[in-house]
Structure 1
């Protein structure tokens, strides 16, 4: 993975696309979980959302390192 990505002359961190993709997947999963009513079974929904994002971002980042 490159440490930096050039986008129209602007240097961005290499993990920024992974971050944005992970965030988009997390939002879609959050909507699905919310519509299914599963958040009422959780002790702390905000903590679950954060943990879900961390897991998605970490897994995507680890897949790109290989």
Structure 2
């Protein structure tokens, strides 16, 4: 994967589409974890969701750029 992607004549970092995909995966994982009932055991759900997004985006970035 290239480091930059051309969108309408402007170059954007290649991580931006990965983070958008990571946000979609995080949304799906959030819905699944809410259905399971995991958030009853989480101290701060918003912080858990933010860290889940960071972990998923980081894993996607490492998988693509490694």
Smaller-chain TM-score range?
0.7 to 0.9
DSSP-derived class of the 1:11 partner: strand
Deviation at 1:55, TM superposition (A): 0.7
Structure 1 residue runs of 4+, over 4 Å off? Answer: none
1:22-62 Cα distance to aligned partner (Å, 9 max, x none):
00000000011112221011111111111111111111111
Question: In the alignment, which residue of structure 1 is the partner of 2:61?
Answer: 61
Q: Distance in 1 between matches of 2:26 and 2:55?
A: 10
Aligned residue pairs: how many? 66
Which runs of 5 or more residues in structure 2 are unaligned? none
Normalized against structure 2, the TM-score is what?
Answer: 0.87
RMSD of Structure 2 on Structure 1 (CA)? 1.2
Question: In the alignment, which residue of structure 2 is the partner of 1:27?
Answer: 27
Which runs of 5 or more residues in structure 1 are unaligned? none
Q: Distance in 2 between matches of 1:13 and 1:64?
A: 13
